[in-house]
Amino acid sequence: MIKRFTKAKKGNLLKKVTITEVAEHAGVSVTTVSMVLGNKGRISPDTIEKVNNAVVELGYVKNRSAANLRSNSSEIIGLILKDISDPYYAQVAAGLCEETEKQGYMVFLAQSGESDEKFEQCMLTMARQGVGGIAFCPNNENQHVNADALKAHKLPMVCISRASLNQQIDYVGPDNASAAKMATEHLINQGHRRIAYVGGKSSSLCRAERVGGYCSTLMQFGLPLKPEWVIECDAGQAPAADAVQVLLATHPQITAVLCHYSSTAVGAVQGIARVGRSVGEDIFIGKQLSIVGFDAVQDAELTDPPITFVNSDAKEIGRQAAKRLIEQFEESDTNPRKVIVAPTLTNA
């Protein structure tokens, strides 16, 4: 592979030479250049020499992986995550890597951070590098993802998220409403009647789905649904401790708390202690409170007694995303599909 670039104007980045520019320089068609580079067809020695000379003179980089993509033979799958250090998405990546490697593919990982521009840059770079398909997690729960723009890359796509973006792209994710229903019903079955919800922001689609599941379950069982018991707070143990402390000081009748983040659940333990109460088993006993969180992480294993969590198996979500991408390589059906991974109830 020739790895040369022509220099652009002073102060700019190196400019990538296109196959069209090679064709114009050699005085032949783009198809002819493509055939020469791919060693296909019957091309005269003189024409081959013209094309090769143009490639060298212009510094054209032959993108072998892009050629693989056009023939659906790329062995690389792209994965875009907001933050590779996030425990939930680290598990998604682990599951996706396990499945792709079993089927003979490798993963090209990128981190988009909070920026929509960085997300688009990651997407374009992967497309140019010739990945066979892209799995991506939006950089925030409410990111507007332009389905038509993504499809313009002509790549198989799978959106991995905590909440559906309602776009015409394949989607693999958890059932947030069912997870919240499961958590709320578990507490009700243990004798709790005054259950609060703490964590997340009102702008979060994931939170909206979970709060919806929580509210509908309370209504189903004829239990009080009080807006003042549904509290927003930032992710992290410290904000959760503060929020839970204020909540319980104001509403001491509450006996159980659903926590939006795993870190909220861990922080809630400290908030409960600050008002002179303790965390007990899930069964309602006296002044003890019960906590149920979502998507356990390693830190939650240190609590005593262990916190109950409703988990959406992040590794399984990653595995299913990989399977769906590979299915798209092999199928002509382009209709978007939704794969939902069911939640499970477990102690940390």
Q: What is the pLDDT of residue 102?
A: 86
CA 305 to chain centre: 31
pLDDT mean across residues, the chain: 84
Do the domains 176-311 and 69-174+315-341 match in fold?
A: yes
- Cα(151)–Cα(74) distance, rounded to whole angstroms? 18
Q: What is the pLDDT of residue 275?
A: 95
pLDDT digits (tens, 9 = 90+) for 139-182: 776 666 666 666 677 788 899 987 666 667 899 999 999 999 99
| Regions in the chain scoring below 70 on pLDDT | 1-16, 40-41, 61-74, 141-151, 163-167, 298-303, 332-334, 347-348
Count other Cβ atoms within 10 Å, centred on residue 296: 22
Q: Does domain 176-311 have CATH number 3.30.450.20?
A: no
Q: What is the pLDDT of residue 154?
A: 75
Question: Do residues 134 and 80 touch, judged by C-beta distance below 8 A?
Answer: yes
Residue with tokens 């064709």: 23
CATH class name, domain 69-174+315-341: alpha beta
* Whole-prediction pTM: 0.73
Burial of residue 146 (CB within 10 Å: 0-12, 13-18, 19+) is exposed
Non-local CB neighbours of 314 within 8 Å, separated by 6+ positions: 88, 89, 91, 92, 95, 295
pLDDT digits (tens, 9 = 90+) for 78-103: 999 988 888 888 999 999 999 998 88
Indicate the domain borders of the chain: 19-62, 69-174+315-341, 176-311
- Cα(95)–Cα(114) distance, rounded to whole angstroms? 23
